[in-house]
Amino acid sequence: MQHFLTAFDMSSLHHPWQNGYEALCRGQGIKMTPARQKNLVCRYTTGQGNPQLIYAPAKEEEEWDEPLILRYHDFISLSEIEVIKRLSKPKLSRAKVSDPVTGKLIPTTLRVSKSAWLSKDESPVVAHVSQRIADVTGLEMDTAEDLQVKLLKASNISCYYYCAQLKFMF
């Protein structure tokens, strides 16, 4: 038997600290001053001297200074996106929330996204993208989660979101 949380149930889970987070998601909230914004830069990075990036550095943009938030441009090719979409499509399942009583993951009408996880063993493309993430960030992929793919639906628009790459594709 599936259990769905109602809007009332979810509102009882709301915490005051979420107000700022939710405002930022709506594009509201904290705005950077022009003085701080002028110090943000774009650059080519070799991921702290990673040999894989010496001849083809990544395009890095500072989006926020404290905490440091970076965006990487042209990080994933259109052909890689198509492979990832094809592999993730049959695995997509409705996002779930934790039931406050049982602690079990359950579907909810408030979340309309779908998620899939892709292992680097599933495709050379996924392995290559995961390695590129490791090269740029300096993180070890052996202890990292698999590549998460989100399908966000709003009206008639579908949007695949590659969480690890911060890349939107309509």
pLDDT digit string (tens) for 72-130? 999 999 999 999 999 999 999 887 778 888 888 887 766 678 889 999 999 999 999 99
Using CA atoms, how far residue 170 sits from 10, 35, 83, 108, 123, in Å, is: 29, 34, 15, 25, 23
Using CA atoms, how far residue 157 sits from 84, 142, 146, in Å, is: 19, 35, 26
pTM: 0.69
* Domain spans in the chain, listed from the N-terminal domain onward: 75-169
